[in-house]
Amino acid sequence: MRELGIGLIGTGFMGRAHALAFNSARTVFELPVHLKLAALADADTARAQHCATAWGFARAHSDWQALIDDPDVDVVAITTPNHLHYPMAMAAIAAGKAVYCEKPLAVSLEQSEAMRRAASVAGVVTRVGYNYQHNPMIVLAKQMIASGVLGQITTVQLENCEDFLANPQTPWGWRCEATHAGGTLADLGSHALAMARYLVGDIDSVCADTQTVHTLRPASADSLDLRAISVDDQVHALLRFANGARGTLSSSWIKHGYKNHLSFEIGGTLGTLAFDQERLNELRLYCVGQAGFQTLLAGPELPGYAAFSPAPGHQLGYNELKTLEVRELIMAVAGQGADGSDFEAAWEVERLTTAIRVAAREERWVNVSSI
């Protein structure tokens, strides 16, 4: 069996999630290749070595370029802050290696454009971490919509809200730096937009409003120095879909009480389908003639679920979704699948977020095709 070497850059929350997913994928699934955790990189040499040992990687690097140059690495997984995605991905593509990059793809549309073009020219496999789409319940939702259960889609309500920056005393971090990140729109809203495109299709035009609510934050924990914040805390947008549906997007990282409220309500001429990531094993369905919504519970009749549990109601979680995403990455690299968001799909999301920012800045409707 062919061996596929995995190189992981970054050891934060997402780095650990990727390490868990690669380890789980080779246990849960019958893969067409043998996964080898070849190398891990982190700028902190001691942490790189510690995590490599703890997570099962063969060696550690303190220089990410050294990991990309490592001959045992075939797939480069990037889990660093957003501003590092571009140089790392471009170097990996230049080395002819597959790239698995966390979202958002980059910090500007220009960088995203260069990344997708380079990947296309090089012919390498790329995937981007929109892992919520790999939830078996979301796959089921897509099938239901495509089969006409809801009739003609007329309305799409999207929301992705958390509260990790709701407290104005929460100190500045890299997500608060415009050159390193893109505010709540890039961090959270991009997930909702990717979900909308996956389930409903292209969005033609947008109108939007963005706001920075907490304009100053402590420079660090317990610091009296304040740093100015310019990235958006909340975004609201109107959406016009190519199929004629109308929609709304709301994204905030200052909405108290929500921890992972990626939700949608998709309505059509025959019914409505609703989902909330905080209850990720459920869909709510209303069809014309019913007394009310019925709750659909995930179970082993859904292939992705059955890989982890033979019984309904036992629940999948965030890391299982990441494992399902890694499986599709591996199948694509092995030439046996095409599921998942590649750099082309991620660029489309970046184009949407750019259009939303232009619409908010210029206070007008913006055709996405003009971006």
The phi, psi pair for 266, rounded to 5°, reads: -115, 115
For tokens 């990687």, name the residue. Answer: 57
Element housing 270 (H / E): none
Q: Is residue 306 over pLDDT 90? A: yes
Regarding whether 254 and 347 lie in a shared domain, the answer is: yes
Q: Are 269 and 152 in contact (CB under 8 A)?
A: yes
Regarding whether 257 and 189 lie in a shared domain, the answer is: yes
- Residue of 182 and 163 predicted with greater confidence: 163
Q: How far apart are CA 30 and CA 24, in angstroms?
A: 11
Residue 136: per-residue pLDDT: 97
User: Any bridge partners for residue 61, and if so which?
Assistant: 41
Per-residue pLDDT tens over the stretch 95-143: 999 999 999 999 999 999 999 999 999 999 999 999 999 999 999 999 9
Regarding whether 320 and 175 lie in a shared domain, the answer is: yes
- Give the burial string for 261-276 (b: 16+ CB within 10 Å, else e): bbbbbbbbeebbbbbb
Regarding whether 98 and 145 lie in a shared domain, the answer is: no
Regarding whether 199 and 326 lie in a shared domain, the answer is: yes
Regarding whether 161 and 70 lie in a shared domain, the answer is: no
Per-residue pLDDT tens over the stretch 248-260: 999 999 999 999 9
Regarding whether 250 and 138 lie in a shared domain, the answer is: yes
Band (pLDDT 50/70/90 cuts) for residue 1 is: confident
Element housing 35 (H / E): strand 34-41
Q: How far apart are CA 73 and CA 7, in angstroms?
A: 5
Share of the chain above pLDDT 70, in %: 100
Residue 179: per-residue pLDDT: 85
Band (pLDDT 50/70/90 cuts) for residue 180 is: confident
Residue ending a domain, choose from 88, 109, 131: 131
Rg value, the chain, Cα: 21
Residue 213: per-residue pLDDT: 97
Share of the chain above pLDDT 90, in %: 96
Query: Of 349, 306, 219, which is closest to residue 29 (Cα–Cα)?
Result: 306
CA distances from 188 to 27, 121, 241, 263, 361 (A): 31, 30, 20, 11, 19
Per-residue pLDDT tens over the stretch 324-337: 999 999 999 999 98
Regarding whether 103 and 229 lie in a shared domain, the answer is: no
- Locate 79 and state its tokens: 């889990």
Q: Sort 312 into a burial class: Cβ within 10 Å, 0-12 / 13-18 / 19+.
A: middle
Residue 104 preceded by cis peptide, ω within 30: yes
Q: How far apart are CA 77 and CA 23, in angstroms?
A: 14
User: Any bridge partners for residue 100, and if so which?
Assistant: 77, 127
Q: Is residue 216 over pLDDT 80? A: yes
For tokens 């729109």, name the residue. Answer: 185
Regarding whether 145 and 253 lie in a shared domain, the answer is: yes
DSSP per position, 74-101: -EEEE-S-GGGHHHHHHHHHHTT-EEEE
Calculate mean pLDDT across residues 136-158.
98
Regarding whether 304 and 191 lie in a shared domain, the answer is: yes
Q: Which residues contact 159 (CB under 8 A, 6 or more apart)?
A: 192, 249, 250, 251, 261, 262, 263, 264
Residue 212: per-residue pLDDT: 97
Q: 36 lies in which domain range?
A: 3-131
Residue 182: per-residue pLDDT: 84
Residue ending a domain, choose from 74, 108, 131: 131
Query: Of 94, 100, 101, which is closest to residue 122 (Cα–Cα)?
Result: 94
CA 162 to chain centre: 15
Regarding whether 92 and 169 lie in a shared domain, the answer is: no
Q: Are 41 and 69 in contact (CB under 8 A)?
A: no
Q: Are 42 and 55 in contact (CB under 8 A)?
A: no
The phi, psi pair for 17, rounded to 5°, reads: -60, -40
Residue 22: per-residue pLDDT: 98
Band (pLDDT 50/70/90 cuts) for residue 287 is: very high
Residue ending a domain, choose from 131, 155, 184: 131
Per-residue pLDDT tens over the stretch 222-239: 899 999 998 999 999 999
Q: Is residue 353 over pLDDT 90? A: yes
Element housing 155 (H / E): strand 153-161
Give me the CATH number covering residue 272.
3.30.360.10
Calculate mean pLDDT across residues 263-288.
98
Give me the CATH number covering residue 19.
3.40.50.720
Average pLDDT, the chain: 97
Calculate mean pLDDT across residues 353-363.
98
Q: Are 76 and 92 in contact (CB under 8 A)?
A: yes
Regarding whether 347 and 255 lie in a shared domain, the answer is: yes
CA distances from 228 to 168, 182, 252, 338 (A): 12, 15, 19, 43
Q: Is residue 181 over pLDDT 90? A: no
Q: How far apart are CA 203 and CA 324, in angstroms?
A: 27
Domain count, the chain: 2
For tokens 């399902």, name the residue. Answer: 324
Per-residue pLDDT tens over the stretch 45-62: 999 999 999 999 999 999
